Amino acid sequence: MRRRELILSASAAIAIPITAKGAEKVPLVGCLMATSADDPESVIRFEAFRRGLSEAGWNEGRNLQIETRWIAGEPERGRNYAAELVNLRPDVILANTALALQPLKQLTQQIPIVFVLVYDPVASGFVANLAHPGGNITGFTLGEFSYGEKMLEALKGIATDFEQIGVVMNPDQRPHVEMRHAIEQVASSFKVQLTSIPVRTPADLEPAIKSFAGEPHRALVVLPSPITEVYRKQVITLTAQYQMPAVYGFRSFIASGGLVSYGIDTTDAFRRSAAYVARILHGAKPAELPVEHPSKVELVVNLSTARALGLAVSPMVLARAEVIE
């Protein structure tokens, strides 16, 4: 009879069977999540990833171990947790956003990495080519930097009279710099002037937005980031306090009371990423798995928030958007 010992999985707090010496090793998947473990939207996304693995035949506690670390928007925590996961030598790592992917890329060129919710990974320096990524990294993008332009278009479709636009961004993150540039290229056609609002850490968020909100008729483009998502209720409260329309990259902001969002279906992206993790566990190489673009893009409007801001949503926008009351 084979002897088995039980160890406790830190990520799921369940007993995982490990076979005796000489038996097949249970694969380990590391997950570096950019947001917070107590954020309901993040939980939904991660559960979609788990379901995707299960559909592919990989079930935690039976034939798979999962070790998860949550960054909660803190860059330093991301670097520390990335090192922890790499030291565990997992069979593959799921990296959620560039905040998680960047330190992992710096730490390993051997462990396969599947990213999810990363803008333009070629221009960002993560892969050499979308069709043939090369190296140890592949995954699923958030789209192109031109999404910044689409976010401004979505905002101006509702807040038509607002000309001073603040772009909430991390100037140390290349995707944000490039998205800001994309917005700048079309700013004149929308008759707006842009101001960058730098947010590098959670502590920057409230004072940065308040410093811009001192004058009337101002609005925000909040570029997608783990910091703004983790603290989205704070962002939404500030925009309501200062009567500032704002556009976001994820529908989770709109469900929390934000005005309008333009971006991908993030839950679908996590579900799809599980298929790549499963293929790598079966022996596929990241270099041979093409980077995939989003399959769904959503425009979401909160009519209650629009009314509270005194804004009329045009029939044209309503025809295109998912509407939340």
pLDDT tens, position by position, 152-203 = 999 999 999 999 999 999 998 888 999 999 999 999 999 999 999 999 999 9
Is residue 194 within 8 A of residue 140, CB to CB? The reply is: no
Q: Is the pLDDT score of 13 beyond 90?
A: no
Q: What average pLDDT does the chain have?
A: 90
Q: Please answer whether residues 118 and 139 qualify as being in contact, where contact means their C-beta atoms are separated by less than 8 angstroms.
A: yes
DSSP state for residue 88 in the 8-state scheme: T
**Cα–Cα distance between 305 and 101 in angstroms, integer?**
34
Q: Which of helix, strand or coil describes residue 113? A: strand
Compute the CA torsion angle 183, 186, 190, 195 (nearest 10 deg): 40
Facing residues of 69 across strands?
32
Contact 127, 121 (CB under 8 A): yes
Q: What is the pLDDT of residues 114-123, one digit of tens each?
A: 999 998 899 8
pTM of the model: 0.86
Report how far residue 179's alpha carbon sits from residue 147's, in angstroms, rounded to the nearest whole number: 7
pLDDT band at 23 (very low <50, low <70, confident <90, very high): low
Could you name the CATH architecture of 147-264+298-324?
3-Layer(aba) Sandwich (3.40)
According to the model, what pLDDT value does residue 144 have? 85
**Domain boundaries for CATH 3.40.50.2300 within the chain:** 5-143+266-296, 147-264+298-324
Architecture in CATH of 5-143+266-296: 3-Layer(aba) Sandwich (3.40)
Residue 44, H or E segment: helix 40-55
Range name among 1-15, 207-221, 249-263, 271-285 with the lowest pLDDT average: 1-15
